[in-house]
Amino acid sequence: MKKFSWLLFLFISVTGVSQTLKGVVSDEKNRPVEFMYVINQRTQNHAHTNFKGVFEMEGLKVGDTLVFNKMGFETKQIIYKNNKVNITVKPNTIDLDQIMLSPEINEDKIITSIDVERNPVKSSQELLTKVPGLIIGQHAGGGKAEQIFYRGFDIDHGTDLQVNVDGMPVNMVSHAHGQGYADLHFVIPETVDKIDFKAGPYHFSQGNFATTGTVNLKSKENLDHNLIKLEGGQFNTKRLLFMNTFLDKTDESAYVAIENLNSDGPFESPQNFKRFNINSKYFKTYNNTKLEFSFSHFVSSWNASGQIPQRAVDNGSITRFGAIDDAEGGETSRTNVSLRMIQKYDDNSQMKHFAYYSKYNFDLYSNFTFFLNNEDDGDQIYQSEGRDIFGYNSDYQKEIIWGNTEVVINGGVGLRTDMVGNNQLSETKNKSEILERLRYGDVNETNYFGYASAAFQFNKWSVNPSLRLDYVFFGYQDFLEDNNTTGFKLKEQSAAILSPRLSVSYTPNNSFQSYFKVGQGFHTNDSRLIITSQANAIPKAYSTDAGFVWKTTPKLLLGLDLWAMLSEQEFVYVGDAGIVEPNGASVRQGVSFNTRYQPIKALFVNFDANYTHARFRDEPSGQDYVPLAPYFTLKGGVSYKKDLGFYAGINALHIKDRPANEDNSIVAEGYTVTNLNMGYIWEKFELGVQIQNLFDVEWNETQFATESRLANEPSGSSVEEIHFTPGTPFFVKGTIAYKF
């Protein structure tokens, strides 16, 4: 009887008293799985695995059901029986059934994660288009950074969108061609694992240029397989890709990817576009420390037919793929090295250190006005620079449990220094003779920053206030005698900005999440303008977002976002013409609707609609349009794909007509373009076909209201009208890949 009573007491103690579980989650290759979401279905308590795949959960009772969930892996359930578990999860094509909304999951990240998993990017130009509502355009032979349109902004090449790769900034301050210039062509698309997107400036990590949001591309730590891929298509297009893992252990891995691309494009004057890329990554974990080293090198050269005037096409002087000046073009290169170290401590805290260096060169010849300013030699301009970028940041994170409230505290500091040599804008002739230097000098710019954040999770709520301080030193040494009053000495100026942010979300269950955000973002202006007192150093932008994400059924995900922004007066340096254009304060409101539908496992439907109303605040009605600001866009598509066998996908992009100047007297025509891809996957081989512009529509990829004069037009005359770069016509490209 005593023995029975003792056993009964022991059973009650084990089953009735809460327990603490420690576990490890790994994949089929015994590699740790990071950021696996673990939830107790009884209590809704949750945890995440760290970079070693380790998690810890309290408040368990024998018989509790634990769910392990992460996009790209099969969902797994276990019954809690003892205090240590080892879980193995299998990779799996993403399934909407898997999506579990939680306070930690960024609602923007859900959509981009789904799209990348279902439709991996196939070119570096596609990377940014995975962001709902974002549109890009190329107008310099494929070698220059794409022009970006998002949230009612003509972002040019990156002025109001922060772009990072593995945490390393891509945007260039005080760039020869334009402030915030962000060239992503050094990224090999097959190495991209995730696209972490944040709309608006609401996170403590978002600094310079994050006015409308941040895109952070995260590269793969491991390759699923080695790969050789050959692509070939019209317009003498050829691409070779080689990816190889040369170290593959549980706690250590390394790979290299090499890409070579050539194309003449659809233009009558061949682009002779060439690009070479190499990306590599190494990581190692030992004890509670993880090291990650990355290296990449990129070089590119091209010719370009430039933007052509509509009147020259209308009168038959040239075709849509002809040129007024086909001597445009350029070359660029970038080398990146970075080192990241993460240290995990036993008190639920961790420290991250990240250091990086970039070596960059840029040379570009353009002609936007033809013979307007120089009727004899033409208006060709030359922009160039050489740049070294140094950066470092450290972040401390601590997780604390206060009763039923989980608190995650972050604090960090960092800096970035840009040393730009021979930054110039010159008038040239035939790429060989400098007629006049308009701007010429060295830029030195350093951004120091620090931040503090506390994310509180209690019941079904998450509240995250944060504060960020940026202090920027602007320096410019002018080499032109006409502009110099200090004996060619470096001129310096500094400015600071304090950015408060607040995010609140409510997640009553794993199928619905609503949110409200408010915060301040900014972008700096060009050092050359700030030093000469022609610009506000750091214009601010005040933003707010409110919306929800809702899994109405296991197969349907909906998202709705309402947002508004007030931007202070901005002075934008226009590198194309070497002038300053002051833009007044602007007000924008918009709505974004997203849906993802998966009627069966292999079939996926996506649809995004975006509307924006953008106006300059202080201009009279009818004169207050924001040039080239898209006000209505649609993206949508259907894809069918299994792990093996036949796959196909069709997607379309639609953009409405939009004003090209402030009074809407010149209109940038809208377009609808449809793309198709299909193929077949075997265990080791893949054959595929991609068709761009399936219906061969005439569309303008980029267009501007520009004043110009042609050689045969009267002296002293000019015409302001649409100048455009034509979009790709019907284009077929084939792919063959071998996995080993």
The better pLDDT of the pair 125, 16 is held by 125
Rounded average pLDDT over 455-463:
92
Is the CB of residue 376 less than 8 Å from the CB of residue 402?
A: no
Position 114 scores a pLDDT of 79
> Residue 135 has which token pair?
């549109």
Q: What is the DSSP string of 37-54?
A: EEEETTT--EEE--TTSE
Mean of the per-residue pLDDT values of the chain: 90
The pLDDT value recorded for residue 573 is: 44
Q: Is the pLDDT of residue 124 over 90?
A: no
Label residue 10 by pLDDT band (50, 70, 90).
very low
Q: What percent of the chain has pLDDT over 90?
A: 71
Confidence of residue 118 (pLDDT cuts 50, 70, 90): confident
Taking only the tens place, the pLDDT of each residue in 139-180 is 776 788 999 999 999 888 898 999 999 999 999 999 999 899
Residue 572 has pLDDT above 60, yes or no: no
Handedness of CA 307, 312, 313, 316 (dihedral sign): negative
The answer to whether the CB of 124 falls within 8 A of the CB of 187 is yes
Encode pLDDT of 654-707 as tens digits.
Answer: 999 999 999 999 999 999 999 999 999 999 999 999 999 999 999 999 999 999
The pLDDT of residue 141: 66
What pLDDT is recorded for position 356? 98
- The torsion angle over the Cα atoms of residues 150, 151, 155 and 160, rounded to 10 degrees, is -110
Q: Measured on CA atoms in the order 620, 621, 626, 628, is the torsion positive or negative? A: negative
pLDDT for position 333:
98
Q: In this predicted model, what pLDDT tens digit does every residue of 228-279 receive, in sequence order?
A: 999 999 999 999 999 999 999 989 999 999 999 999 999 999 999 999 999 9
User: Where does residue 362 rank: exposed (0-12), middle (13-18), buried (19+ CB within 10 A)?
Assistant: buried
pLDDT at 485: 62
Q: Which domains does the chain have, with CATH numbers?
A: 18-92 (2.60.40.1120), 135-739 (2.40.170.20)
Q: Which position has the token pair 């301050």?
A: 173
